[in-house]
Amino acid sequence: MSAVLARAEDLAAGYNGALALSGVTFAVREGERLGVLGPNGGGKTTLFRVLLGELAPQAGRLDLAVPLATVAQTDRSRLDFPVSALDVALMGSLSRLPWWRRPGRAERRRARGALELVGLRDEADATFGELSGGQRQRVLIARALVQDAGLLLLDEPFTGLDTPSAERLEALLAGLAADGRGVLVATHDVDQTRRWERVLCVNRRQVAFGAPDDVLTREVLERTYGGDLVELPSGHEALAPPHHCA
């Protein structure tokens, strides 16, 4: 069986003494895409912050076997900043260089390689803020690759993307997993997670974790989203309405 990249056992975390998320037990292995489903305020962002070390867990255990990188929603970054796609990808080398070293030729080559991998070779010198939402998302993924991360955390990366961009991103995530990386994606698209290897449902505590076929039952989704479920006539069981991470 492939190696475990990250494992959480009965993890709990919160703010100002109040728990925002508890009872979280899961593992991500090499080559797995894990979808994190949950309502607004359900604890997805809290979980990400614990994984990134920004928030200390109040209980439980977290073991990380590989470096993590985060791919934030691109509207969190300054779109008016005078940086190129290559500049942004190069930021990924900061964590690997001692503080007195500036990124050199090797780092630039690596950053260009990462941009090529995400299909942006020709956009390397374009201004980041002038790229489309999907392209910006892929630049941030390239930055995570330059960081040499074994596990990528993506916070609702499909929000606001048109269909071709979303399909391209979906294919890129599949490629990253096929290369042996782990990909952890907070999303609101239940149908999408059916195509992935693992699903984690949270609503202030863990509702379920496992393979999509086992986890994505009507009962689990109702416990995850409460009354927010919408029936679809297309034969799919249920789809949660769009949410933004709290």
Q: Among residues 136 and 190, whose Cβ is nearest to other proteins?
A: 136
Q: Among residues 73 and 206, whose Cβ is nearest to other proteins?
A: 73
Pair 192, 240: CB distance under 8 Å: no
- State in angstroms the smallest separation of the CB of 128 from other proteins: 8
Q: Among residues 98 and 233, whose Cβ is nearest to other proteins?
A: 98
Query: Residues interacting with other proteins, by CB under 8 A?
Result: 52-54, 68-70, 72, 76-78, 81-84, 87-88, 90-96, 99-100, 102-103, 127, 143, 147
CA quadruple 56, 157, 22, 228: dihedral positive or negative? positive
Q: Among residues 76 and 105, whose Cβ is nearest to other proteins?
A: 76
Q: Among residues 136 and 203, whose Cβ is nearest to other proteins?
A: 136
- State in angstroms the smallest separation of the CB of 103 from other proteins: 6
Q: Among residues 136 and 243, whose Cβ is nearest to other proteins?
A: 136
- State in angstroms the smallest separation of the CB of 147 from other proteins: 7
For the record, the structure tokens of 15 come out as 């703010």
Q: How far apart are CA 180 and CA 174, in angstroms?
A: 10
SS3 track for the chain? CCCEEEEEEEEEEEECCEEEEEEEEEEEECCCEEEEECCCCCCHHHHHHHHCCCCCCCEEEEEECCCEEEECCHHHCCCCCCCEHHHHHHHHHHHHCCCCCCCCHHHHHHHHHHHHHCCCHHHCCCEHHHCCHHHHHHHHHHHHHHCCCCEEEEECCCCCCCHHHHHHHHHHHHHHHHCCCEEEEEECCHHHHCCCCEEEEECCEEEEEECHHHHCCHHHHHHHHHHHCECCCCCCCCECCCCCCC
- State in angstroms the smallest separation of the CB of 100 from other proteins: 6
- State in angstroms the smallest separation of the CB of 221 from other proteins: 30
- State in angstroms the smallest separation of the CB of 77 from other proteins: 4
Q: Among residues 56 and 100, whose Cβ is nearest to other proteins?
A: 100
- State in angstroms the smallest separation of the CB of 153 from other proteins: 9
